[in-house]
Structure 1
Amino acid sequence: MKPGKFAFTMILIVLLFFYIPIFIVVLFSFNSSKSPVWTGFSLKWYEKLFTSSAHIWRTFMNSIIVGISSSFVSVILGTFGAVAMYMGAKKFKKLMWTTTYIPFIIPDIIIGVSLLIFFTTIHLRLSLLTIFIAHVTFSIPYTMMIILTRLQDFDKSIIEAAYDLGATRPIALWKVIIPIALPGIVAAFFMAFTLSIDDFVITFFVAGPSSTTLPLQIFSMVRFGISPVINAISTLLLVGTIFISILLRKYVRYII
């Protein structure tokens, strides 16, 4: 087999291995029965999702609220951190890079346990607030790295020219640095939002009894058997993610 055909075959196998399970989830969300055997096309699981699954939508709204708010805060903090790393001295950059990189390699279960101990120590009741704080904590390193990558593509002479023209640091930040970093900021927001919506391990440790998010709800439902309603909501989340990705790609391409 020629190298080109072999590479194409391997890529095809990897793509099939990755997408076939997703396709099965989507397919069986339209199955007319609960059995893992196709028995006919039906929309009754979507009807059940929208008519008799109030608890699922409640947890979905919790995930949306936490996802949007934590992503917004983590992007603000990540932007200031990225600007500080971009404009700071070399020794400061090395220190910031090290402290920012560490959360990437720490297992989620360690972060979850440490946050739980911290909240218990300061007597903060587990709720959506603790989930929000936890999601901001693990999202900041991702937002910083994405925004910093964007800033590194530009020469500092642009910012220095703004200073020479009389711009103060706040004006240079708002009029020069933020517009330059805007595509990275938008990408960082959606990355943080995706991480927040998807997170289970850390949320499991810091969620209270009345602050369940969608991943926790799906996990509790799976323990009693896989319901086609889970397939339905998974399909809707997949469609929503694809839609957001398309909008983000067009938006970033427009403002670059």
Structure 2
Amino acid sequence: MAKWMKKIYLGLMLLFLYLPIVVLIVFSFNDSKLRGVWAGFTLHWYTDLISDPIILQSFYYTILVAVVATVFSTILGTLSAIGIQQYRRKTQNLLLNVNYLPVLNPDIVTAVALMSLFGFIQMEQGLLTMILSHVVFCMPYVILNVLPKLNQLNKNVLEAAYDLGATPSYALRYVILPQIKPGIISGALMAFTLSVDDFIISFFTTGQGVSNLSITLYSMAKTGINPSMNAISTILFATVLILLLIINKKDIDLVKFEV
């Protein structure tokens, strides 16, 4: 009886969490602008997105910021994780606690801090500040994905590479990076997902004329519910869901390989 009750509670919880998303997806194909009235199936709102210059520009900035931020946060995060792993345990714990701060902090704290920093150094807010903010925001997650793979490395392999005449740069490129590649890929996918999904940090660190999809959705919501919002939200949800499935599949395949 207890097992059935747990299953019922779990089902109700999942229903409570995902029913609004299901409704959003369904009404993104509704042929009516009225909420709660089904007027037939249509792809009209999706085709409108293609012809809307504001949406296309927002999509361009979203992908541009996400790709650039993913590349730089992955490189910097991987190098930082390698550096952290070389320290002694006490120093590692100190650096990891510092790395946890942006992860545990509410996004609004990080956003206001970055906005204040850009104002203090008199840096004009725009595309560059948004990219820098996303790099800062995503890099800790890359470190947390790469560091466990570094801890699993066999130190004897690295020492053997040095004994055979490998330079530190050669060992990094051909010994360390190939073995931590799954962690790097997982960190990069998570960074891209977080960047695409972010609103608060983007909103506080952007400038005039630079708007990603999240900010555009927020602006559209001020004038009422537009069915195009449902279509955009559905695309964003599908994108994030696919990326999360890829990340989880890589983690499962990695566990099976290690076993």
**Both proteins in one fold, TM over 0.5:** yes
Distance 2:7 2:166 in 1: 54
> What residue is the counterpart of 1:72 in the other structure?
71
Distance 2:241 2:215 in 1: 22
| 1:167-223, Cα deviation, whole Å (9 max, x unpaired) | 221111111111111111111111111111111111111110111111000000011
> What residue is the counterpart of 2:3 in the other structure?
4
- The amino acid across from 1:5 in the alignment is W
TM-superposed deviation, 1:95: 2.2
TM-superposed deviation, 1:93: 0.7
> What residue is the counterpart of 1:45 in the other structure?
45
Moved more, 124-133 or 155-164: 155-164
Distance 1:88 1:166 in 2: 24
TM-superposed deviation, 1:248: 4.9
Distance 1:249 1:112 in 2: 28
- The amino acid across from 2:45 in the alignment is W
What TM-score, normalized by structure 2, do the two folds share? 0.91
1:103–1:244 Cα change, 3 Å: closer
> What residue is the counterpart of 2:233 in the other structure?
234
Q: Which runs of 5+ in 2 are unaligned?
A: none
Distance 2:148 2:12 in 1: 32
Structure 2 SS opposite 1:238: helix
- The amino acid across from 2:43 in the alignment is L
Distance 1:202 1:237 in 2: 17
1:142–1:250 Cα change, 3 Å: closer
Moved more, 142-151 or 89-98: 89-98
> What residue is the counterpart of 2:125 in the other structure?
126
Q: Which runs of 5+ in 1 are unaligned?
A: none
**Same amino acid, percent of matched pairs:** 37
Moved more, 167-176 or 212-221: 167-176
What TM-score, normalized by structure 1, do the two folds share? 0.92
TM-superposed deviation, 1:5: 1.7
Alignment of 1:63-212 (within 5 A): 63-212=62-211
- What's the Cα RMSD here? 1.9
Structure 1 SS opposite 2:42: coil
- The amino acid across from 2:42 in the alignment is S
Distance 2:105 2:241 in 1: 29
